[in-house]
Amino acid sequence: MVCSTNNPAQRRYLIRFAVCMTIYIVLLLVSVLALKHFQPTGVPAYALAVLPALPIIASLIVMGIYLAEEKDEFMRNLQVQALLGGTGVTLSVVSVWGFLEKFVHAQHFDLFMVYPLFWVATGLTAAVLWMRVRS
């Protein structure tokens, strides 16, 4: 995210995002340990497997809330462009990788890695946009 000081919407977003990521780490540990220790089957196994994805979904909703709350239209515009760039890069990478896996047996790319890939791509897009604006 492109941050400026004294922006209440950005401050709230960062706090909410940090909360989501903290819950994610806790739930991931709970899931991994519970699945390993208790080796559940059926619905409990599915529930434990899905558990870490919930704060990830929440973090995307938190981004939506930020965009709704951001009163600075320039910053909002920059963030939307960064998200679009990140989405485009992510879809391109996973599409290319999918065909590589299918046709030339490239190493498997775990789907849960799409989320961090998206944020890295969004962050890089934001950095490029920011440099263009500042130059």
Partner 1 sequence: MKNRLRVLRAEREWSQADLAVRLEVSRQSVNAIETGKFDPSLPLAFKLARLFGLAIEDIFTDEQ
Binding site for partner 1 (CB under 8 A): 4, 7, 71-75, 77, 132-133
Closer to partner 1 by Cβ: residue 119 or 130: 130
| C-alpha dihedral (26, 40, 58, 121), degrees to nearest 10 | 80
C-beta of 77: minimal distance to partner 1 in Å? 7
Determine how many CB atoms are found less than 10 A away from the CB of residue 61: 11
Nearest-approach distance from CB 66 to partner 1, in angstroms:
14
At closest approach, how far in Å is the CB of 10 from partner 1? 9
Cβ closest to partner 1, residue 7 vs residue 31? 7
Contact 125, 86 (CB under 8 A): yes
Of 48 and 82, which has the nearer Cβ to partner 1? Answer: 82
Instruction: Identify the burial level of 2 via C-beta atoms within 10 angstroms of its C-beta, where 0-12 means exposed, 13-18 middle and 19 or more buried.
Output: middle
Q: How is residue 86 annotated by DSSP?
A: H
- Indicate the residue among 8 and 44 with the shorter CB distance to partner 1: 8
